[in-house]
Each structure stands twice: as structure tokens, then as C-alpha cells.
Amino acid sequence: MGKGIRLLFLGMALGMVLEASAEKHRFMVFFADKADSPYSIDAPLEFLSQKALDRRNKSGQSVTEEDLPVNANYLDSLVKYNITPYYSSRWFNAALVEADSVDLESIVATSYILSYEYIAPGVRLNPVKEVTDVNFSPLEPSIISSNSQIQIEMLGVHTMHDQGYNGAGIHVAVFDGGFEAANQTAVFKDVFNNDRLIDRMDFTANSDNVFNYDDHGTNAMSCIVSNYKETLIGTGYGADISLYVTEDVSDNGNFEYRIEEYNWLLAAERADSVGVDIISSSLGYFDFNDDRMDYSYEEDADGLTSVITRAANLATERGILVVSSAGNEGRSTTWKYITMPSDSEHVIAVGAVNSLNEKLNFSSFGPTADGRVKPDVVALGSSVAVYHKNNTIGTSSGTSFSAPLITGLVAGMWQQFPELTNLEIKELLLEIGDHSNLPNNETGYGLPNYRRLINDSVLSVKAMFDESFTVFPNPFEGNYVLSSGRKRICQKGSTNETL
């Protein structure tokens, strides 16, 4: 994040704090550097897992200073100013704090503080992280309606499962507003009994208890890893899973502030550290309770600007595949477009269709502000079979459930082709869309189907990448060749060829 952007944020913060003096609120504090860090990019295992390093190596991304933890001395110094840090961001070199704006103004003059940004009113975080045990109760659910056969067969995932690919060995992180009752049902018996719940964190409260608040995340999770008597089968039911609460659903779901984007950033960094392969996010942002935080489609939906989109781009650079719901704004008269972070070039933005593969009118449109096709693909988004917190199997609708259906599909594909990078898996997904040669801004490259992948034979996948190359030094810019009238990502090669 550039200094100019930070100063802009600072200006916004100063305007806001005039209204908020003598009260504690939540802010991001941005540091000037990572000087005198006890960590080194030459010893990355001190702050990253081996799987995180392996994933970077596959995508050609080395560990940089951006990956180093925030200087602990800087964090400690905040306490002296009556500013309480809770989380730190390696990628933004920042800390999320609760503080009085008067105290914050006093630290801007210090050499190691660049600026601060107001991100939410009031305080909420537990002073000490709440640590809880996972108590699993495999209660048998009631079946209210539907089953998952339609949503699976639309993607050809039943064939993928028959081929032996169910996401096993792939680590998926789900970002949402809560996973209520996910630990109280036989729907997720395989996950809990086989120790496939790898990590969990509630960033809205500073707690590791994610099984409360809301079942929107539970619904989304069930689209991926449920495995119940052929009634509710997730598209990637064999995957490992981590659960992160980043959306604050307090105030009856009417709490919408920039902090939720920063929670997403913090969760992405944690997911990176523990070795997550895929982030599945059924969240999207463009407007907030404080309209000074709002984004403009024309100026901000360019894949580079919003906080959450920049976070998604940084996760992608580290080899993580990000799958995001495109948004349910299609009927809006003010913002019908995809929501952030789906505007990112690298994020798989997922729209919604009905069982006849017809676009649903609520599904958000593209293009991005800079003219790129979005969404990328679609999946079933009406009457999707999900698990509900009252221990029933029923249905829900929205791109929130289209996205995790695609997540499970790409988890199975990555299990089948582990040598491919995150962006190559995305490209492969686009290739098997039902109108991949004629993408549009309503349904992108269309409804993907695993059967197209195997009907074209595995050799076609190999051919896509065997003779490809990378333009160095940055593997995420400029490494495309034209194919079928659109961009195709290329695999790392051995030479510095240019077009």
C-alpha cells in the first residue's frame, strides 16, 4: 500500500475522529518499516509453515520482506500511548487497534508510524483471545426438502467423485459471518471424526469459537464438505477445512464497516501461514454504514483498489486460489455490478444460475470498471441444498452458495492435477465452461463441467501447459498468450521469452 493511499486514509480518519473524540473505536495503524526485525526471509519457517513455502515455490513467489511479521517493538510501543493492538498484518505492515482518537493523534509524529485509519465505531474485541474446545455432537438431521444431486450433476462433480477426486489433501478456508451448529450435526461427521478441521478463528471478537452468531457460513461450508447419506454431498467433501469469521453480523446484520475488509485480510494472512490452498468467500463489499467508506464502481471496481481486493491479490501472489461470490446486486438500480473482491483479475468470481442454466436476475453483472469480463463462471444459485442450524437439510439461494459449489469442484481438480498452480487451475476451470469461447458479463465463461475435462482427455490439460513460458520477474503480470480470443495463463518455463 503506497504512502499516498495511507495519507488519504489518514485524512479520512482525521475527519471522522473529530466526531468521535473521547471514545474508543477501532482503527488500523500503519507502520513505516520492518526495521530491526528478529525474523529473516532466509529463515521463513519461523513464521510460515512448510506447506505455505511449498505453495509459494510452485507459483514462483519467493518470501519477501512483505511476509515478515510486524515489528514487535512497534506493537509494544502502542500500549504506552493507551492504544491496544489486537491483530497485526504482515502484508499491510499494520495493526488493528482499539483506541481513543486523541491518543492516536499523538503517535502520528513518531518516526515509525505513517498513519491510521478509522475502520469501525466502538469496541468489541476480547482483551485476551478466547480459547475454547471443539465439542462435536453428530446429531442426525431432519430432511426438509431437496437433495444435492442437481447441483452436483450440473457441474459434473458426480463423475469427478466417481473418478476418485473429492478434494482430499486440499486445504480450503471458508470466510463468513459464522458457522453456527456446524459442530452439532452428522452432516460434518467425516470432517470432525477425521480431524480435518485444521484451524479456526473469529476475527470479529478475538476468539477461536466460530460455531455461533449465524449459519450463513455453515450453509456455505455444507456445499463443500458435507457428506450425508447421498442426501447432502459437498462438491469437495474430502477436503481439509479451516473456518474464519470475518463478517460482523451484530446489530441484526446491519453492521457494515471497513473493518470487515481488514478482518478478511487478517484471515487471508492466517490462511497463508497455515498452508491453505483455496479461500472460499461468500462475502462482498461496496457500501457501508458510513458512506465515507463507500466504493465507487467507476473509480474502485478495477481489481486493484479496495482493501479486500488488494488482500485477495496478495493471497493469490502467494499461490492461494481465491473463490468469491459475485454478489446478489443484479436487480439493484444503483449497483448491479459484482462486489469486491470479485473485481480482482485473479479471483474466481461466481455468479448464479437456476437448474435450467439460466442466469438468475439477482446475480451481479460485470464488467469490471476497467472492462474485464466478470463473473468468471456460474453454478446453481437457487434452491441450493444446504445444512441449516436447526439441524435440517433444506435449501437456500444466492451467489453465496454458487461460490462454495465451485470451490469443491476446483479442490477436486487440484487434487487430480497437483502440479498446476492456482492460476493454472483457474484457467482450466474457465476452459471447461459451457461458453468458454464467448464469455459475457452475465455468466462469464459459463457453467463449468468436470466431464468436459475428462472427455477432452488428460492429455489436453498437459498440452495447455507443456510448451508455455513465464515473463519474469513477476509471475502475476504479463504472462499470457492469446488463446481462443482470450487470455491464457502460462506455466513457468526456463527462459525469459517475450511476445
Among 25, 161, 171, 216, the active-site one is 216
Question: pLDDT digit string (tens) for 383-434?
Answer: 999 999 999 999 999 999 999 999 999 999 999 999 999 999 999 999 999 9
Residues 98 and 245 in one domain: no
Separation of alpha carbons 431 and 450, rounded Å: 10
Question: pLDDT digit string (tens) for 9-47?
Answer: 444 444 444 344 459 999 999 999 999 889 999 999 999
Domain for residue 129, yes or no? no
Separation of alpha carbons 376 and 423, rounded Å: 13
Give Cβ neighbours of residue 462 (< 8 Å, ≥ 6 apart).
none
pLDDT exceeds cutoff 60 at 212: yes
Question: pLDDT digit string (tens) for 273-312?
Answer: 999 999 999 999 999 999 999 999 999 999 999 999 999 9
**pLDDT at residue 462 in the model:** 54
Q: Which of 129-138, 381-390, 460-469 has the lowest mean pLDDT?
A: 460-469
Residues 359 and 475 in one domain: no
Q: For 159, how many CA atoms within 13 A lie in the half-sphere containing its CB?
A: 12
Residues 199 and 300 in one domain: yes
Domain for residue 187, yes or no? yes
Among candidate residues 184, 192, 131, 87, the one with its CA nearest the CA of residue 387:
184
Q: What is the CATH number of the domain that holds 352?
A: 3.40.50.200
Separation in Å, CA 355 to CA 68, 221, 304, 417, 447: 47, 21, 34, 29, 11
Among 67, 100, 176, 214, the active-site one is 176
Residues 97 and 227 in one domain: no
Q: Which of 4-13, 136-145, 194-203 has the lowest mean pLDDT?
A: 4-13
Residues 180 and 43 in one domain: no
> What are the backbone angles phi and psi of residue 322, rounded to the nearest 5°?
-105, 125
Q: 448 and 357 in contact (C-beta within 8 Å)? A: no
User: Which residue segment(s) compose the domain that 167 sits in?
Assistant: 142-461
Q: Which of 240-254, 255-269, 324-338, 444-458 has the lowest mean pLDDT?
A: 444-458
**pLDDT at residue 470 in the model:** 36
**pLDDT at residue 109 in the model:** 82
Residues 301 and 442 in one domain: yes
**pLDDT at residue 253 in the model:** 79
CB < 8 Å & 24+ apart, contacts of 465-474: 465/420, 465/424, 465/490, 465/491, 466/491, 468/493, 469/493, 469/494, 469/495, 469/497, 470/60, 471/496, 471/497, 471/498, 472/496
Domain for residue 127, yes or no? no
Phi/psi zone of residue 134: left (φ > 0), alpha (ψ -120 to 50 degrees), beta?
beta
Separation of alpha carbons 473 and 413, rounded Å: 28
Separation in Å, CA 205 to CA 69, 89, 190, 213: 22, 17, 28, 11
Separation of alpha carbons 91 and 69, rounded Å: 9
End of a domain among 89, 120, 151? 120
Q: 108 and 119 in contact (C-beta within 8 Å)? A: no
Residues 322 and 280 in one domain: yes
Separation of alpha carbons 333 and 431, rounded Å: 33
Confidence of residue 146 (pLDDT cuts 50, 70, 90): confident
Confidence of residue 147 (pLDDT cuts 50, 70, 90): confident
pLDDT exceeds cutoff 60 at 472: no
pLDDT exceeds cutoff 60 at 481: no
pLDDT exceeds cutoff 90 at 320: yes
Residues 13 and 69 in one domain: yes
pLDDT exceeds cutoff 70 at 326: yes
**pLDDT at residue 59 in the model:** 85
**pLDDT at residue 1 in the model:** 39
Domain for residue 130, yes or no? no
Identify residue 230 by its one-letter amino acid code.
Answer: E
Question: pLDDT digit string (tens) for 197-207?
Answer: 999 999 999 99
Residues 307 and 373 in one domain: yes
Q: Within its chain, how far is the Cα of 162 from the centroid?
A: 28
Residues 339 and 413 in one domain: yes
Question: What nine digits make up the cell of 39?
Answer: 525474523
**Is 176 a known active-site residue?**
yes
pLDDT exceeds cutoff 90 at 489: no
**pLDDT at residue 176 in the model:** 98
**pLDDT at residue 5 in the model:** 39
Strands 240-245 and 232-233: unpaired
Per-chain mean pLDDT for the chain:
88
Place of cell 470475518: 246
Q: Name the helix (H) or strand (E) containing 422.
A: helix 422-431
Among 400, 402, 436, 468, the active-site one is 400
Residues 449 and 362 in one domain: yes
Please state the domain count of the chain: 3
**pLDDT at residue 252 in the model:** 81
Separation of alpha carbons 364 and 384, rounded Å: 18
Residues 84 and 229 in one domain: no
Strands 94-100 and 24-31: antiparallel
**pLDDT at residue 463 in the model:** 56
**pLDDT at residue 461 in the model:** 58
Confidence of residue 241 (pLDDT cuts 50, 70, 90): very high
Domain for residue 137, yes or no? no
Domain for residue 128, yes or no? no
Domain for residue 450, yes or no? yes
Q: Within its chain, how far is the Cα of 152 from the centroid?
A: 22
Confidence of residue 254 (pLDDT cuts 50, 70, 90): confident
Phi/psi zone of residue 198: left (φ > 0), alpha (ψ -120 to 50 degrees), beta?
alpha
**pLDDT at residue 466 in the model:** 55
Domain for residue 364, yes or no? yes
**Is 216 a known active-site residue?**
yes
pLDDT exceeds cutoff 50 at 4: no
